[in-house]
Amino acid sequence: MMEHASLRAVPFTDVTINDAFWSGRLQANIEQTIPYQYEQCKTTGRVDALKLEWKPGDEPVPHIFWDSDIAKWIEAASYTLATKPDAQLEALLDEVIALLASAQQPDGYLNTHFTVVEPGKRWTNLRDAHELYCAGHLIEAAVAHYQATGKRSLLDVICRYCDHIAQTFGPNPGQKRGYCGHEEIELALVKLYHVTGERRYLDLSAYFINERGQQPHYFDLELKERLKQGEKDRLAEFHRTVGYEYNQSHKPVREQVHVVGHAVRAMYLYSAMADLAWELQDDTLKQACERLWADLCEKKLYITGGIGPSGHNEGFTRAYDLPNETAYAETCAAIGLVFWAHRMLHLDCDRRYADVMERALYNGVISGVSLDGRKFFYENPLASNGQVHRQDWFECACCPPNVARLLASFGNYIYSQREEEAVIHLFVQGSATLDLGTQKLSLKQQTRYPWDGEVRIQVDPEQSARFRVRVRQPGWCRKATVRVNGEPVQPASERGYLILEREWSQGDVIELTLHMPVERVYAHPQVREDRGRVALQRGPLVYCLEEVDNSSDLDALLVPQTADFTQTYVQDLASGAVALSFEAQRLEADGPSLYRTERPRTSMVQVRAVPYCLWDNRSPGEMLVWLREA
């Protein structure tokens, strides 16, 4: 029996957030990002494609993954309704859902592209065609909409679709023994099982996970059939170079040791594996996840929480291959890492999972959206020559609505609960109501985190009782002090969490002080691009230099080993942020000679570093995370 298998997240609907760092982001998501993304889906034809009026020769042609963009928008908008009722938004959702329902075929099938563009090719190219991937996002949208509104208008449609999928796929005679080339439906089916209680959806998820990578390889079989029908394999050369590692089907999942292939696909697969490990108490899946986690964090994780260095496969390459200027680090991949880390945290309440979740959230995820909520990064490099900027939208628009749905449900990631235990993972000002089995518990956080490390937690049980409050001491924090009702305490620590067990009464207060100096961070020596370089981190935030603060040619700056870092709260930087100032050496050019025998002259200059998540929100220019060290 897994020790923490009963641990479950506190839903975001039971959490309120009033936080200096996050509230502006969440407000922009509601007021700007979600309405803006609907307009983009409308003007680009994604919404109208649901009318099934497309004819050959019409432009634009409904793409194979357009349905997923609509689904993620529905999910984000539904999460918003759950915490902020809006009659106009709810009516718009009803309108889009009615279009989706009208697009469903008599047998339950629901996919815009394969209904009007290639109607004869349903389920013939699972490797590349994204049908089950789109179905997965539709499932998540339906679950979110039902939970937010209580309406079954989309849920019933999607249950019909999933029943069609369950009839189509499986190990029985007459069924296809396939699975999707882009994982997503596996984790979505677990969510559908939770809201419906129908075991067949959990079993279907387990089937897709267990069948993956088995021999004879399904993708070989379906390709052979397509070639026999006279089709060409348009992606033959690409798949020859990336192999089945690209979609993590190179081995059965329990035999996989290394994180490989397309990063987003990997994160969604591992999330589903963790879900099933929790639901089925399957230690073999848990152990596989732990092996893969170790490989990622020890050899393939950017300091920002970004993952996947290569644009060729939108994913992983070899160990320690972490280039900076060419880093792909897709926003969706960092979001997927948050999903996986959160699930691992509920298998084993260990700080290492929460630390990575926090690193991604505060750096590699929210860098993907501008402060005004209307521009987006697909790729998140750690160095830029000034040519990289957020875009209004993308032809492949997976990242914008993915950010929107994560931010709309951000409260999910702060707390967990189980009988007689409350767990605090993240430090975010606001309140939450937890269910400890025998009674409700209110927790209220007051903090300016991550700008400082002072956290005040008020504990208000309905009745005085003995229970545990587990509080994470972040891995970046070398020293923490704790007081309860003003008295210093030295709590026990387990897997990076401080354990406070006592008789709690209304009005009790935990005061946590997390020592938060500026730290120099060095990469493993095998990360070639970072040799001789240092990154600056304060609390959970990774810092960078921007040209707007420091002039151009940032790579000519050298950080002295004796540099003294001044921390200043700057009110006009992103509505308030801590910037770091220090003196650095700048390499100077003496004359026009290309080469010389003398060491270059240096001058001392004042330098300012800002949080990486804020870059490219002011004047465009160069950016650098890993700095040369003198």
Q: What is the pLDDT of residues 238-262, one digit of tens each?
A: 999 999 999 999 999 999 999 999 9
Q: What is the pLDDT of residue 589?
A: 86
* Residue 9, both tokens: 């997240």
27-413 in CATH: which number? 1.50.10
Q: What is the pLDDT of residue 590?
A: 83
- Evaluate if residue 557 carries a pLDDT over 80: yes
The whole-angstrom separation of Cα 354 and Cα 478 is: 16
78 pLDDT above the threshold of 80: yes
Distance in angstroms (rounded) separating the CA atoms of residues 72 and 68: 6
Q: Give yes or no for a contact between 235 and 182, defined as CB atoms under 8 angstroms apart.
A: no
The structure tokens listed for 184 are 């997503």
Q: How far apart are CA 443 and CA 458, in angstroms?
A: 6
Which whole number is the average pLDDT over 117-133? Answer: 97
Residues of the chain with pLDDT > 90, as a percent, come to 96
Spatial neighbors of 247 by CB under 8 A, at least 6 apart, are 127, 181, 182, 183, 261, 262, 265
Every domain range in the chain assigned CATH 1.50.10: 27-413
**What's the pLDDT band for 591 if we cut at 50, 70, 90?**
confident
H-helix or E-strand spanning residue 400? helix 399-408
State the average pLDDT over residues 23-48: 97
Whether the pLDDT of residue 72 is over 90: the answer is yes
Q: Average pLDDT for residues 547-570, to the nearest whole number?
A: 96
Average pLDDT, the chain: 96
Res 3 pLDDT > 60: no
How confident is the model over 7-22, as pLDDT tens digits? Answer: 999 999 999 999 999 9
């007081």: which residue's tokens? 483
Mean pLDDT in residue range 542-564: 96
| Distance separating alpha carbons of residues 245 and 186, to the nearest angstrom | 18
**pLDDT bucket at 198, cuts 50 / 70 / 90:** very high
**Quick one: pLDDT at residue 249?**
98
On the question of pLDDT at 1 being above 50, the answer is no
**By C-alpha distance, which of 71, 96, 93 is closest to 82?**
93
Integer CA distances (angstroms), 508 to 167, 316, 368, 457, 460, in order:
55, 47, 39, 8, 7
pLDDT of amino acid 461: 98
Is 70 exceeded by the pLDDT of residue 349? yes
Bridge partner residues of 535 (DSSP) = 521
- Angle at which helix 153-168 crosses helix 185-196, to 10 degrees, equals 120
Which residues have a catalytic role annotated? Answer: 314, 398
Whether the pLDDT of residue 5 is over 70: the answer is no
Domain with CATH 2.60.40.1180 in the chain: 415-514
Q: What is the average pLDDT across 143-163?
A: 98
Q: Is the pLDDT of residue 2 over 70?
A: no
Q: What is the mean pLDDT of residues 186-207?
A: 98
Residue 325: pLDDT above 60? yes
How many alpha carbons lie under 13 Å from residue 444 in its C-beta half-sphere?
A: 9
Longest dimension (CA), the chain: 79
Q: How far apart are CA 109 and CA 337, in angstroms?
A: 30
Q: Does residue 425 contact residue 413 with C-beta atoms inside 8 Å?
A: yes
**Amino acid at the residue 71:** A
CB 357 within 8 A of CB 561: no
Tell me the C-alpha to C-alpha distance, in Å, between residue 91 and each of 31, 143, 447, 596.
16, 18, 37, 71
Asked whether residue 605 carries a pLDDT value surpassing 60, the answer given is: yes
Question: Do the beta carbons of residue 607 and residue 584 sit within 8 Å?
Answer: yes
- Percentage of the chain modeled with pLDDT above 70: 99
Query: Taking CA 21 as the corner, what is the angle to CA 15 and CA 23, rounded to the nearest 5 degrees?
Result: 50
Q: At 349, is the secondary structure helix, strand, or coil?
A: coil
The CATH code that applies to domain 415-514 is 2.60.40.1180
Phi, psi values for residue 439, rounded to 5°: -165, 170
Give the whole-angstrom CA distance, residue 101 versus residue 112: 11
Beta-sheet pairing, 415-418 with 8-9: antiparallel
* Tokens (6 digits) for 611: 């949080």
pLDDT in tens, 460-492: 999 999 999 999 999 999 999 999 999 999 999
